[in-house]
Structure 1
Amino acid sequence: MTDPLARRGLYRLIYASRATDPAGLDEDLPAIVAKSIQNNRIDDITGFLAAGEGRFLQVLEGPGQVVAEVYERIGRDPRHDEIVLIADGLAERRLFRDWNMGQRRLEAEDASALAEVGLEHFTPAGLDEERALRLLITLGARHLR
């Protein structure tokens, strides 16, 4: 986040990362989401986390300064590695306003959502902003079912 003025408005940040312990992902994910929900309620952050194949794709929305602080905290979290910033910038409106942190653990039925954005496997670090958002929105809709 380079523009200091952007830290004052509604901001959206999307990143991908790899779990340092992919085998422990099933155990770590509920704790990550529970803590995120708790913190995000206080900080006025909304977003969505997709996890699978030892990888994460997450969008954060909220006040720019707070989003920047959350992203910095994620960067220090030893459960994440190979963090790639996909997009960050001002947002006109929240796309994930219904969740302080919604999440979906990818399943076999999500292969069609991956294919829609050109992925055969869940390797989100190579997505651009448009495809990452499309995937997160699709997975979010499945989360609501």
Structure 2
Amino acid sequence: MLEFDDAPKGLVRLIYASRAQELGRGGLPEMVRTILLKSIQNNRMAAVTGFLVAGEGRFLQLLEGPAGEVEQTFERIRRDDRHGDVQVISRGAVERRMFRDWNMAQHQIVAADRSVLTKVGLTAFTPDGLDEARAVTLLTTFGAQHLR
């Protein structure tokens, strides 16, 4: 999960932030559940792994895998009506996966997460203003909580 593994040529990592759109009846938790179920299925077939953080009507997500598959996955996300104001935080080649065991896992922001947000200079979950280092810190910190 947070272990690194040797990766094949052409491995990329993409981190983006977006705003949730059209939350619907179950709100953000139901939207995340729906996204997660479909993402696990799609990502498994595409050899894409990653982690999604959601809260306060926003998303921060890391995708990693073969370059073409990550780009196709990201294009689906950009066209998805549930995402608005999509902003790429970082995109580039990497040697190893950060979340190798999760086709997609997630963390939903709760009040207890304020100290983690403060650690990267945020007073609220506003990931669109993060640089790559602070986004990775948030993603790996929240990811580590799910390993306990």
TM-score, reference length from structure 1: 0.92
Q: What stretches of structure 1 of length at least 5 have no aligned partner? A: 1-7
Distance 1:25 1:68 in 2: 25
Query: Counterpart in 1 of 2:5?
Result: none
* Structure 1: distance between partners of 2:87 and 2:107: 20
Shift of 1:25: 1.1
Q: Does 1:95 align with 2:98?
A: yes
8 Å CA contact retained: 2:23, 2:31: no
> In structure 1, what is the Cα distance between the partners aligned to 2:121 and 2:59?
17
What count of residue pairs does the alignment treat as equivalent? Answer: 138
Normalized per residue, which structure has more helix?
1
Q: What aligned pairs does 1:49-128 form with structure 2 within 5 A after superposition?
A: 49-128=52-131
Q: Which residue of 2 aligns with 1:4?
A: none
Shift of 1:76: 0.4
Worse-superposed segment, 17-26 or 50-59: 17-26
125, 133, 142: which one aligns with 1:139: 142
Alpha-carbon distance in 1 for matches of 2:102, 2:115: 24
Deviation of the 1:26 alpha carbon: 1.6
Q: Is the 8 A contact 1:21 1:54 kept in 2?
A: no
Q: Aligned partner of 1:19: which letter?
A: A
Across the aligned residues of Structure 1 and Structure 2, the Cα RMSD in angstroms comes to 1.1
Q: 2:38 aligns with which of 32, 35, 38?
A: 35
> Could you tell me how far apart the structure 1 residues matched to 2:42 and 2:142 are?
23
Tell me the amino acid that sits aligned with residue 60 of structure 1. L
- For normalisation by structure 2, the TM-score amounts to 0.90
Q: State how far apart, in whole Å, the 1-side matches of 2:28 and 2:110 are.
A: 14
Deviations 1:33-83 (A, max 9, x none): 010001111100000000000000000000001100111110000000000
Which of 106-115 and 23-32 deviates more?
23-32
